[in-house]
Amino acid sequence: MKKNLLKGLMALTLALLLITLAGCGQEEASTNEETNEGGSPETTFNYPTKPITIINPFSAGGPADNTSRFLAHHAEDYVGTSIVVENRDGGSGTIGQTAGANADPDGYTLTLITSSIVSNPLFNNVTYTHESFEPIIMTVNDPFYLVVNPDAPFDDIESFMKYAKENPGQITLGSSGTDTVPAFTLRELALEEDIDITMIPHDGEAYAVAAAAGGHIDGLVGNFSGFESQFNSGQLKPILIFDNERSELAPDVPTSEEAGIDIISGSWRGIAAPAGTDPEVVAYLHEKFKETTENEEYQNQMKNAGIDMSYRGPEDFKEIIQDTYNRYDMFTQE
């Protein structure tokens, strides 16, 4: 009885080994063929055959997390395989991005990308650049707000500027991390307006919101969804939106254009593959993700979570990323 079981197990292991080996051989054969014939079009498009992982370089629960989770959840039906969101947060997003940029470009490891794929390589010593990513789809463009505690010695953008000029370094504003886009927006504001602000990096937007609502810091720069509860309860007051259009969500908040501040900043978010991914795979994913974003249930969830949807295809998205790079790079020269 025992012997039979052992034999059976051995046979099973052997069979599994053979199958794997055969699979490897096939793969090799097909790549050989491709190189021999210069990328023969005969190789059938066989994707996806296993689950896809989307690396989210930020912590679970935030707006970035929801962006990836809502998409992943609904896209499973369209893409035809399960999609897993993996939070690899830390180091202002560089950890997950490093993993995403260095992943095999086989279309099974994607990354949720934000403007931080541009700013992180500029400010940190990392092994990737924004060009390490092949954009697939932009799904979100969420403008940033300057939000202040109502007890702070200013309650609109004019008095904020006046106070900042008279009290250099006295205003403390939180950001979601050191070299995150909100932090960058703050630096840009300080530079443009020639004011001195003390930036306090936190371990994610939620903690910056808590610190500002508690009056430990004067305010923060962040997305609407992050401070919505505090906005509704009056614990935090947005005084500026870094956009050229007022938002329906907070129509009383003046735009940076109205305030004469030449900064437009938002967090665009989307999905990208590692550079070098088969264009066919990118096109396939784009098509399926686009169909997903047109799904009504997906749209409702995004609206519920207070996230501004905004679609762009791979080419347009690439341009937006390059624009962001040009802006930030000029800034680093100064």
The tokens describing 73, both together, are 């959840």
Considering only residues 75 through 94, tell me which ones interact with other proteins, judged by CB under 8 A: 86, 88, 90-92, 94
Give the one residue of 112, 195, 199, 241 binding other proteins; rule: CB under 8 A: 199
Where on the phi/psi map is residue 19: left (φ > 0), alpha (ψ -120 to 50), or beta? alpha
- Minimum CB distance to other proteins smaller for 26 or for 102: 102
| By the rule CB under 8 A, 165 interacts with other proteins | no
Greatest Cα pair distance, the chain, in angstroms, is 88
Q: How far apart are CA 171 and CA 183, in angstroms?
A: 14
Q: How far apart are CA 197 and CA 153, in angstroms?
A: 14
Residues 45-64, one symbol each (x = binds other proteins by CB under 8 A, - = not), give --------x-----xxxx--
- Minimum CB distance to other proteins smaller for 123 or for 317: 123
Give the torsion sign (CA, 23, 28, 29, 35).
Answer: positive
Give the one residue of 130, 202, 269, 318 binding other proteins; rule: CB under 8 A: 202
Residues 121-160, one symbol each (x = binds other proteins by CB under 8 A, - = not), give --xxx-x---------------------------------
Answer whether 236's CB lies under 8 Å from 213's CB. yes
219 beta partners: 148, 173
3-class secondary-structure state, position 309: strand
- Minimum CB distance to other proteins smaller for 226 or for 314: 226
Q: How far apart are CA 236 and CA 239, in angstroms?
A: 10
| By the rule CB under 8 A, 172 interacts with other proteins | yes
Q: How far apart are CA 209 and CA 91, in angstroms?
A: 19
Question: Which residue blocks in 145-295 are alpha helix, DSSP H?
Answer: 157-166, 181-193, 205-213, 224-233, 279-293
| By the rule CB under 8 A, 200 interacts with other proteins | yes
Q: What's the DSSP call for residue 254?
A: P
Considering only residues 211 through 270, tell me which ones interact with other proteins, judged by CB under 8 A: 211, 213-217, 228-230, 232-233, 235
Residues 288-317, one symbol each (x = binds other proteins by CB under 8 A, - = not), give ------------xx--xxx-----------
| By the rule CB under 8 A, 98 interacts with other proteins | yes
* Sites of contact with other proteins (CB under 8 A): 53, 59-62, 65-66, 69-70, 73, 86, 88, 90-92, 94-95, 98-99, 102, 123-125, 127, 169, 172, 177-179, 198-203, 206-207, 209-211, 213-217, 228-230, 232-233, 235, 300-301, 304-306
